[in-house]
Structure 1
Amino acid sequence: MEKTLISTILFSALTFPLLTQAQQNSWNGTVLGFEALGEGLLGEMLGIRPILTENGFNYNLAYLNQLAHNLDGGYNTDGHVAYIDQTALTFTQDLERWTGIPDAKIEGNIVNRNHNDLLTTERLQDTRVNFNDLSQESWGGQSSTRLGWLTFARSFDDRRLSWRIGMMNKVQTFDGILPCDFQLLTHCGGKSAFSLTWNNWNVHTWGTSFEYKLTPELTLKTGVLEQNPRASSRSQAWSWSTKGSKGVLVPLELESRTFVNDLPGIYNFGVLYTNAKQKDLYKGKSGGPGATDPEGYKEYDNTWFFYGGFNQQITQHSDDPNRGMSAAFSASVSDQRSNYMHIIAAAQLRYRGLFDARPNDWIGLGVSYIDTSNHYARNQDYKNQIQGIIDYNNPDYSPVPGDSVNAEIHYRFRPVSWLELQPGLQYWHRPGGLKETQDAWVTVMKTVITF
């Protein structure tokens, strides 16, 4: 399985130039999930928004909530409706008009999250093992308001080179081939967040990144970012400090926005390196199992993480280029010595405008595969051996996870431009990777209001 995934990712990277075709058509990612925002609930805000736009200030203010209810199965079968929500402000201030610097801008993101209620840990998974997926991807582990990013960016070399610096987040530059439309975390965006060394969306660390267009379709991305395990803590929500930093992250990614059969697609392959010390999940510093090693677990000064995938439109409605189907695949492979999620792979189908009467609605279907690190599983098993526990129902037993499969189907209904209602159904096979946990069915509902 691992060799197949690596081969697939490498094949996608190596065939980027072959996929690229000379085209006069502009690349349109609407059917891939990257559609332009419609008019918000507040409209032009009595003329305030056009004035802001005229002066280079553009923003998106949106409210989101996600509900999940366990219909059947899971670790705890008692019924529960889990609820989380967030309000997010993302903005850009154009500086080029005032300074003459090409593409100069200030970018920012502020997110307020509430209701720390996650069905994954409340009902679906055995809490004696680390969770490997989320029923509500926007769950952040705490209720807080925090700075997602605040950066300065500009371009060079006739806009071929883009540079960004400041308190940044990886989603600004890296692994942007997939939207975050599903409610399962394994289907939200690309797979680079599963490296567990940087964060998605609303957590900032210091860094700088570069994007260089090798061709109009092919972009090389790299940078240097702070690796700080404390970045997601409440104390760091607005901090400018690097307190807690353990080292640096160096990503290298190749991204192609191209056409296949005259339809747009986006492909990427990335490598993430860190020199921050990572602990082995099984081996001790003296050579034996770390659970009984007086010197603790072995540490590594260098670890690697690979990710990649594609998102390709495969059909187009006869009279509307913004309607059609896209197919996507994304995967990651980690160093399983120190990362308890070894392989993550996900495949999705999306269709925008399936029904003539509802051209702006979406339907999505996705299936993900999650493989647990054998170092993590061996450590769990060894802890049972030294305690002499073989009964899974014993509270002190350490369950031994393997692989799991999760799936989701949803329909996104857009009655007006500023409102999205997205009911869905999730299926969890071996939640948490445990064969002892019943397969689970979960109903979900996501609501988005754009202001």
Structure 2
Amino acid sequence: MERTRSSSPIDRAPALALLLAALAGSVHAAAPLDPQGDYLLGDWGGLRDDLKRDGVAVDLGYTSESAYNLDGGFDRDHKLAYADQFALGATLDLDKLFGLRDALLQITLTNRNGEDLTAERLVDPASGQVSSVQEVYGRGNVTRLTQFWYQQRFLDGGLTVKVGRIPLSDDFATLDTGFQNLFLGASQPGNQAGEIWYNWPVSQWAAQARLAGANETYLLAGVFDLNPENLDPDNGLDLYNHGSQGVIAPLELGWEPEHGLGGLPGKYKIGAYYSSADTPDYRDGGRRYGAWFVIQQQVTRRAGDRDRGLSLFVQGTWNDERTAYVERYVSTGATWSGPFDARPHDDAGIGLAYARVGEPYVDQATAGNIGLPGPGAPGYVPPQGEEWNAELYYGFQLTPWLAVRPNLQYIVHPGANNRIDDAWVAGAMLNVTL
């Protein structure tokens, strides 16, 4: 990464002077709601750009996901469910601010609210859910400290070390898609391994290192504190909680060529994790462990523009069935950036995901069914097996700061319960850069 030489703190104008100068206005400043601007709220009279030049990049975002059950599912009573997230972040370039070369500090707060249509209507509450038709929902309606980490680069960028409060999904098993269905997004081990891998917006104390290799390869390794107290909404802003049960250690080997197949960018990743914590054991197992892979490759370009074209992806996870909830998972799909010349910034996608709940988990969960008359009896737990999730979406980039993605989802065996009718869900995702 190219580095810019910074001035000393003494030479820079005080923050108050910057604020006054920005409020005085700027010829090139973007006003709020400017359809050509980068932000809904504008650039604050030029203050936003001034802060970034001085080493403080502010990131404000809002995402909402709506879902409506058209047909099928456990409860056919129609419902519109709405979930959203506000995110407030700041990236501090410590070189520009304090002369600390190749160093960054990231701070992000998130606030999530709403409800999940999958839990409310699609699955049998006696057995529970596997995926979700609203990926932004999760981990409680609460404000959280999602990122609070320090990053330092060494060896001319060949080694990057990050320490602090980090969500595991920030860097491991990542995938770039615009789907609303949880199982067609990134960092899938966190959705299937059980309560050991915490995805965004939950963070953990951690340390990780990324070593760049030859020909755009890398090795990424980390150690994350495994503490269930991090999931408690009452601890959303706490830096430390008692109750650590061990660590989870992920390892990933990747290749991210800028000029891969056909001269187009791609991502190829394979990884594994191991947890030292005591976990539920469904078949005389031990510690939890598992593996994943991610492949994403752009295969076409539109009118010579590398930012427009068709990309294909496939990803999968495997978890030790003796201790994990979902034993196997795989998804595949295609995304298309700038599909039409008249809409060069729109995108579209189609995807299909498959997951299977582990037999040892099912055996334990349904052990109490022996002697019961059958489904519907008090205390009966429906056995779980396989679930399929499919989604088709089209994203309208209405302005640089506003995108709307209507989608249609189809779920086969919601909650991995083959006694529940397959469900059709209409959804819409809204992304706003504030």
TM category, shorter: 0.7 to 0.9
* Partner residue, 1:267: 268
SS of the residue 1:203 aligns to: coil
Q: Distance in 2 between matches of 1:230 and 1:129?
A: 24
* Partner residue, 1:311: 296
2:186 counterpart of 1:189: yes
TM-superposed deviation, 1:42: 2.2
Residue pairs, 1:296-307, within 5 angstroms? 300=286, 302-307=287-292
SS of the residue 1:365 aligns to: strand
Q: Which amino acid in structure 1 is aligned with residue 414 of structure 2?
A: P
2:331 counterpart of 1:346: yes
TM-superposed deviation, 1:380: 3.1
- Asked if 1 retains the 8 angstrom alpha-carbon contact of 2:366 and 2:380, the reply is no
Q: Which amino acid in structure 2 is aligned with residue 190 of structure 1?
A: S
* Partner residue, 2:422: 439
TM-superposed deviation, 1:171: 2.8
Residue pairs, 1:239-250, within 5 angstroms? 239-250=238-249
Please give the per-residue CA displacement for 1:179-210, whole angstroms capped at 9, x wherever unaligned.
25211110111322132312111111111000
Q: Which amino acid in structure 1 is aligned with residue 172 of structure 2?
A: F
* Partner residue, 1:279: 280
Q: Distance in 2 between matches of 1:393 and 1:366?
A: 34
- Asked if 2 retains the 8 angstrom alpha-carbon contact of 1:63 and 1:450, the reply is yes
- Asked if 2 retains the 8 angstrom alpha-carbon contact of 1:69 and 1:444, the reply is yes
Q: Distance in 2 between matches of 1:253 and 1:172?
A: 13
SS of the residue 2:322 aligns to: coil
Q: Distance in 2 between matches of 1:401 and 1:189?
A: 24
2:336 counterpart of 1:336: no
Please give the per-residue CA displacement for 1:227-256, whole angstroms capped at 9, x wherever unaligned.
112212112211122412100111110111
Q: Distance in 1 between matches of 2:266 and 2:304?
A: 20
TM-superposed deviation, 1:409: 0.4
2:411 counterpart of 1:428: yes
Give runs of ≥4 in structure 1 deviating > 4 Å: none
SS of the residue 2:256 aligns to: strand
- Asked if 1 retains the 8 angstrom alpha-carbon contact of 2:412 and 2:422, the reply is yes
Q: Distance in 1 between matches of 2:412 and 2:69?
A: 13
Please give the per-residue CA displacement for 1:257-314, whole angstroms capped at 9, x wherever unaligned.
0111211100101111110011113x4xxxxxxxxxxxxxx673x2211011111001
Q: 1:43–1:421: structure 2 CA closer, same or farther, 3 Å change rule?
A: same
* Partner residue, 2:75: 76
Q: 1:311–1:38: structure 2 CA closer, same or farther, 3 Å change rule?
A: farther
* Partner residue, 2:214: 215
2:53 counterpart of 1:65: no
Gaps of 5+ in 2: 1-35
User: In percent, how many aligned pairs have the same letter?
Assistant: 32
Q: 1:61–1:49: structure 2 CA closer, same or farther, 3 Å change rule?
A: same
Q: 1:100–1:126: structure 2 CA closer, same or farther, 3 Å change rule?
A: same
SS of the residue 1:230 aligns to: helix
Number of residue equivalences:
395
**Alignment partner of 2:360 out of 370, 375, 390:** 375
Q: 1:66–1:348: structure 2 CA closer, same or farther, 3 Å change rule?
A: same
* Partner residue, 2:376: 393
Q: Which amino acid in structure 2 is aligned with residue 437 of structure 1?
A: I
TM-superposed deviation, 1:213: 0.4
SS of the residue 2:50 aligns to: helix
Please give the per-residue CA displacement for 1:80-116, whole angstroms capped at 9, x wherever unaligned.
101111111232100023444332010121101112x
* Partner residue, 1:125: 123
- Asked if 2 retains the 8 angstrom alpha-carbon contact of 1:191 and 1:308, the reply is no
SS of the residue 1:426 aligns to: strand
- Asked if 1 retains the 8 angstrom alpha-carbon contact of 2:229 and 2:241, the reply is no
52-61 vs 194-203, which deviates more? Answer: 194-203
Q: Which amino acid in structure 2 is aligned with residue 200 of structure 1?
A: N
- Asked if 1 retains the 8 angstrom alpha-carbon contact of 2:285 and 2:322, the reply is no
Gaps of 5+ in 1: 1-36, 284-297
SS of the residue 1:54 aligns to: helix
TM-superposed deviation, 1:128: 1.2
Residue pairs, 1:148-187, within 5 angstroms? 148-176=146-174, 178-187=175-184
Residue pairs, 1:110-121, within 5 angstroms? 110-115=109-114, 117-121=115-119
- Asked if 1 retains the 8 angstrom alpha-carbon contact of 2:223 and 2:249, the reply is yes
Q: Distance in 2 between matches of 1:366 and 1:130?
A: 23
SS of the residue 2:40 aligns to: coil
Please give the per-residue CA displacement for 1:121-153, whole angstroms capped at 9, x wherever unaligned.
100011111311011111124211110010111
* Partner residue, 1:229: 228
SS of the residue 2:78 aligns to: coil
SS of the residue 1:406 aligns to: strand
- Asked if 2 retains the 8 angstrom alpha-carbon contact of 1:278 and 1:299, the reply is no
TM-score after normalising by structure 1? 0.85
- Asked if 1 retains the 8 angstrom alpha-carbon contact of 2:172 and 2:187, the reply is no
Q: Which amino acid in structure 1 is aligned with residue 119 of structure 2?
A: T
Q: Which amino acid in structure 2 is aligned with residue 140 of structure 1?
A: G
Q: Which amino acid in structure 2 is aligned with residue 267 of structure 1?
A: Y
TM-superposed deviation, 1:216: 4.7
SS of the residue 1:279 aligns to: coil
Q: Distance in 1 between matches of 2:187 and 2:171?
A: 12
- Asked if 1 retains the 8 angstrom alpha-carbon contact of 2:139 and 2:233, the reply is no
- Asked if 1 retains the 8 angstrom alpha-carbon contact of 2:337 and 2:345, the reply is yes
152-161 vs 227-236, which deviates more? Answer: 227-236
Q: Which amino acid in structure 2 is aligned with residue 84 of structure 1?
A: A
The higher-RCO structure (CA 8 Å, 6+ apart) is 1
Q: Distance in 1 between matches of 2:177 and 2:101?
A: 30
- Asked if 2 retains the 8 angstrom alpha-carbon contact of 1:410 and 1:422, the reply is yes
Q: Which amino acid in structure 2 is aligned with residue 221 of structure 1?
A: L
Q: 1:102–1:175: structure 2 CA closer, same or farther, 3 Å change rule?
A: farther
**Alignment partner of 1:142 out of 124, 140, 143:** 140
TM-superposed deviation, 1:47: 1.1
Q: Distance in 2 between matches of 1:232 and 1:450?
A: 27
* Partner residue, 2:369: 384
Q: Which amino acid in structure 1 is aligned with residue 158 of structure 2?
A: R
SS of the residue 1:358 aligns to: coil
Q: 1:436–1:349: structure 2 CA closer, same or farther, 3 Å change rule?
A: same
* Partner residue, 2:394: 411
